[in-house]
Chains A and B, each alone.
Chain A
């Protein structure tokens, strides 16, 4: 009875942006992952804008060395806190480092933390969500209570506790954000997996003697994948923003690695009254990236969400 399970999960399936209860993708139709790109360009101009922003960010992260003549840790105290000039297009920071260079390199850490945490989180969400949905019963009950318990904490404070325990580093932050992201979104994945599971052909396969692993891999995972992709794309922006707010509380990626959040909340806020650009430019980069991921994510969701396919 689909309705009975649904009542206990309302919050989850409906709540998170990107929560798209999937309907099964049937064999025979053109692969959706090939199909959506032309559609994106034809029908989703905002999504294209988002995609372009994301591509620019990727280029900045990959090509920072080639794009900038300076090193990200190249200090020059005598040139400290200079406004924009021909030599330093966005000015210099509190140690005289070129701000534009640091923003370019900052894209690298933001993407590393963002993609790392989201990839980890997506795997975790899939394991918890699909496992919980597939096995149901007691496993589901306890897994969901665990998720409930986690979600009932004030998230930032939970992250703070764990990070002060582990100590902040790029890897730890990625792990912790990934963990949080995974647990939070396992609900959405579970919701999608439940619907698939209810389809008769899964039951049929079981009746024909397929193993659990086989059913999961062959039937459930491919159908849950679009949901996971949607969740991941929109989740990237959340993860990047959360990393920034951890920096604000002094638990972000430690210097000298440039991160946007760290540049904004450490040096930036120290010099708000004398050199506001120190905070403004990294904040703008951060906002732009988050904006790009959001726009792209929204467009992908619209295209992957079957309810919206025919409409408009």
Chain B
């Protein structure tokens, strides 16, 4: 077991290494020259050469890469933005709670809807409730969430002179006001993400319910059905959690659009703006931080899965 855990940790290292290389190379492949932009557009330095030197972009690429990674590994220094000259980690840490809260609320919404519909749909397989539930869930999944978000912002403003958009307030400052702002984007995003959870839930439950001993218990009546459901639910939650783990990057990526429309000061917008301004260190470091979180999260899921499911053996 200990060896298995160690091995899984060891495997995360090459993954993150690849992430760092991919993002580093990709930024340098982007068309346009950040130095040119900073000097000609904004005059951060008297000459292009001086600027290039100032940012360390005159060095060979592998030196730049080693410098970036080296600072992170040895000092936990994620660098500074080219444009604002502010430490990246500070800005990230300030913005991350917003994105995280939106992700958690979104997941909550989608799990509640997905599990509820999934259970009903499995228990009443091929019945009316199954059809209605699945049609609704898949319909929700089929709606482009950014379109839905805009409708939610625009339509009440026309019809009722009301808008769900307002100034972001941190949860720690005023939880109620915070939730009032976050709930609408979380609902919009969550509803459109409930479909896959519902499907997994349904098929996992169906799997369990088909087993012979369960069928017998099920046929005995209500109290046993409760037990069966609880048992089945517990089993089915594992793939649901794995799914959420896999979709983590999607919550971060999708949050760019939600943050733009609902004016939430999160990581998505920070990243997006850095990308449009070719702010290499910001894009690289934020990508790496997010990737580390995703890998860590998936690792935790796998490990908990290994703990939960006694059938799994370890090499």
Which A residues have a C-beta under 8 Å from some C-beta of B? 1, 3-4, 6-8, 10-12, 14-17, 45-46, 141-142, 145-146, 148-158, 160-162, 164-165, 237, 241, 244-245, 248-249, 261, 264-265, 268-269, 272-273, 276, 279, 283, 286-291, 294-295, 298, 305, 307-308, 310-312
Contact = CB atoms under 8 A, between A and B. Distances in A.
9 contacts: A1-B313, A4-B315, A7-B4, A11-B242, A15-B246, A152-B291, A152-B295, A291-B139, A312-B206
A305 B251 CA distance: 29
A289 B158 CA distance: 29
A147 B29 CA distance: 21
B295 A11 contact: no
A14 B242 contact: yes
Nearest to A154: B253
Contacts of B295: 148, 152
B126 A312 contact: yes
A149 B239 contact: no
A156 B311 CA distance: 37
B306 A15 contact: no
Interface in B71-96: none
Contacts, number: 194
Nearest to B198: A17
A7 B15 contact: no
B159 to A, nearest CB: 11
If over half of A's interface residues share one DSSP class (helix, strand or loop), that class is named, otherwise mixed; here it is helix
Interface residues of B, number: 75
A145 B16 CA distance: 9
Interface in B232-257: 238-239, 242-243, 245-246, 249-250, 252-254, 256-257
Interface in B129-174: 131, 134-135, 138-139, 141-144, 146-147, 150-151, 154-155, 158
Nearest to A291: B142
A151 B249 CA distance: 8
B302 to A, nearest CB: 5
Contact of B249 (A1, A155, A237): A155
A15 B243 contact: yes
B312 A261 contact: no
